[in-house]
Amino acid sequence: MHDTDPGLAPLPEGDASETPEAPGPAAADTSFSALRDDVAALVEDARTYAEAEIAFQKTRAGLAGRHGARALVLLVLALVLLHIALIALAVGAVIALAPLVTIWGAIAIVVGVLLLGVVLLVASARKDGRLLGAMFGSGETQ
């Protein structure tokens, strides 16, 4: 069988007493200094990569923070406008119903419908809350 490892040199077939000379200390120092240079270059490359990655993540976090804050402000403004629109709708409904039933009747109808909506929304929220509680609860039944 032949040795196929490219790193091994074949032994000479001549006299067994003639062995090749071992590399001297200068050759060993050269190979270790080359290895040391390669490791130093690898460490420097890893440091450069880590610094670039940290800078990228800082930039990304800054952009996400700015856009997230802007989105939150816009959402709050949208909710304020929705609130104003619902108030206008309620006032308009009272004004529209006043000629049909007295002003107090119109107020009672509008407030009653709004309270009914609140009750329905709270009941739906409680149902979802109970479902979440059952999903993440300790598993004990009451």
> Residue 95: which residues within 8 A CB-CB, separation 6 or more?
106
Domain locations along the chain: 25-79
At 70 the pLDDT is: 93
How many angstroms separate the most distant Cα atoms in the chain? Answer: 126
Show pLDDT as tens, one digit a residue, over the chain (142 residues): 455 555 555 555 555 555 555 555 565 677 888 888 899 999 999 999 999 999 999 999 888 888 899 999 999 999 999 999 999 999 999 999 999 999 999 999 999 999 999 999 999 999 999 988 888 877 665 5
